Chain A
């Protein structure tokens, strides 16, 4: 009996050790986009850090799948001017320190010519001194970013994502255009959310000086919104703007439905995710939001191409918003890289971005860059939940300028 127990313990211990080794190995593995090989001039080698594990892995995985699908499709049709794209992705687990190490590997060992389609604001900022300043390798189309990245323009840093502040301006304008005279902004309490929430009032008042805006700050990652809904009800407001994460927004709309709060509700892009609908279910019906891309369900040919490529190259991943972000960023890079005559280097890519105007990825707004403008767009797509699916409303929309 004791022998059996001892064997059982040994086996279980060994299994646990193997599980740890397997997980570690999985987390440490580099992943290259398929269809490209070698390190010669026949390919364009770019890299990225993405959170494929850790608390923000829900963003990294789909983003990678979307970009992978695009690069595989591109390589299958000959690549960029005959050169295939090799996109090396390394898992930073959302950790800035790990990102710095990964940046050294990508730039120092792998000799990538650019960081393309990576993810994370603080993570990228940790790597900027080495990548941008010391190595002069451009960082392109990062998911994340802030106003300070582009005002003033920083050499080698180019973005394709409408700033959160402009997203807030867009939803403020939408609520005012819908006739709201009193708006309540419900936002998480970290500074990153507060800064965005503060953009609502000036834009709303710019469009209609009689509009009243108040704010309700909520502890980050709150799951019980009963007291918050009570406060919103007591405020006698006409529209609600959510600057929350997707699970928080889902908790808000679920509780609002339970308490009979039926107000037009608007949100910024992080809320316009499939997870909001899957968590809130029918409580999400009618929720309005802005997005960086068209709805993945859209009938637009460019979105159809995305869905087809996802089905072919990444059949295990959902063709959702996050995957479409990755796809869009990959496509913008490819469209600009196609304009390069001669060798594709860090310098030639930077020069090509500075000359790139009216780059139309189809799935996201038309992008224009210049030497003095490193942020490609300020526009957003309005989307609304209809029959449990995010649906595009109209065309891309540029919000009023913020002061």
Chain B
């Protein structure tokens, strides 16, 4: 039982990270039709700034806030300089551009901070014992922080005027413009929100993985699996898809094989998509011919 609990908590913590990252991807995609491959690399820049501050004696929480600020600033710079000039609806061009930006960001990080792995501090150290299992407090904090962030995003979109405007613009940018909403302003806010969530997810993930320029490639990969599983346009789907990936990944490693955890998880994803191509919570779109 204690072993199952450990594996489950660890899986939920990993899934929370994938869910947060996936949520950021979906918010940006819905608002601007951009699948942002650069998100993880830009968040890595933020992580390096946080580590540099921590090494100079700055509190970890301040470092995390700085990481979020840097990631958002870098993301906005990328959007204004290389994404926005492409124009609306350039899905594949934007995809390639964000891939390029991702590689550049990784090179910049390697050039400035070097390629040697660096430790990223835990937000909280220690363990708590429950049902015979020593649960890492960091994992519990990861779950709690991610849950609060997701709840706030849910509140923003469901209960505020800004959220309603963002949803309206995501549904139809033209209609939103007609009723006086600035689609560019809303797109900027969406990018900032998405990148902020990615940076937060990165700060929760990095204590376990350590920090190298490519540290966030693996969680980004799983976040993508999560949003396809949950439904590319659904924020609930991104969260639940990420959580499903995290938990299944760990259960497969423990009860099937630690070597085939990816195989198991992605087989499950493929199976779900075969049955329901729009993902668990996605909506199927039809176009009039």
Q: Is A311 an interface residue (CB 8 A)?
A: no
Q: How far, in whole Å, are A247 and B116 apart by their CA atoms in the complex?
A: 10
> Closest CB of chain B to A145's CB: distance in Å?
22
Give residues 30-64 of B contacting A (CB, 8 Å). none
**Interface residues on chain A, size class:** 35 or more
Interface-forming stretch among B87-95, B102-110, B232-240, B271-279? B102-110
Contact between B262 and A259 (Cβ–Cβ < 8 Å)? Answer: no
Chain B residues, CB < 8 A from A217: 257-259
Contact between A224 and B108 (Cβ–Cβ < 8 Å)? Answer: no
Q: Is B131 an interface residue (CB 8 A)?
A: no
Q: Is A222 an interface residue (CB 8 A)?
A: yes
Q: Is A76 an interface residue (CB 8 A)?
A: no
Q: Is B154 an interface residue (CB 8 A)?
A: no
Q: Is A264 an interface residue (CB 8 A)?
A: no
Which residue of A8, A247, A258, A278 is within 8 Å of B134 (Cβ)?
A: A258
Chain B residues, CB < 8 A from A275: 116-117, 210
Contact between B6 and A226 (Cβ–Cβ < 8 Å)? Answer: yes
Q: Is B244 an interface residue (CB 8 A)?
A: no
Contact between B119 and A281 (Cβ–Cβ < 8 Å)? Answer: yes
Give residues 201-229 of B contacting A (CB, 8 Å). 205, 208-210, 212, 214, 218
Dominant secondary structure of chain A at its interface with chain B:
helix
Give residues 208-224 of A contacting B (CB, 8 Å). 216-219, 221-224
Q: Is A152 an interface residue (CB 8 A)?
A: no
Binary interface encoding of chain A residues 24-39 relative to chain B, with 1 for a CB under 8 A from any of its CBs, else 0:
0011000000000000
Contact between B119 and A251 (Cβ–Cβ < 8 Å)? Answer: no
Interface-forming stretch among A50-58, A108-116, A159-167, A354-362? A50-58
A251-B208, A258-B134 as given contacts; A230 in contact with B254, CB under 8 Å: yes
> Closest CB of chain A to B265's CB: distance in Å?
10
Give residues 25-78 of A contacting B (CB, 8 Å). 26-27, 53, 55, 57-58, 61-62
Chain B residues, CB < 8 A from A221: 218
A231-B254, A246-B117, A250-B210 as given contacts; A12 in contact with B80, CB under 8 Å: yes
Which residue of A58, A62, A281 is within 8 Å of B117 (Cβ)?
A: A58
Contact between A23 and B111 (Cβ–Cβ < 8 Å)? Answer: yes
Contact between A279 and B210 (Cβ–Cβ < 8 Å)? Answer: yes
Contact between A247 and B209 (Cβ–Cβ < 8 Å)? Answer: yes
Q: Is A189 an interface residue (CB 8 A)?
A: yes
Q: Is B98 an interface residue (CB 8 A)?
A: no
Chain A residues, CB < 8 A from B210: 247, 250-251, 275, 279
Q: Which residues of A are at the interface with B, using a C-beta cutoff of 8 A?
A: 8-9, 12-13, 16, 19-20, 23, 26-27, 53, 55, 57-58, 61-62, 189, 216-219, 221-224, 226-228, 230-231, 233-234, 246-247, 250-251, 254, 258-260, 274-275, 278-279, 281, 318
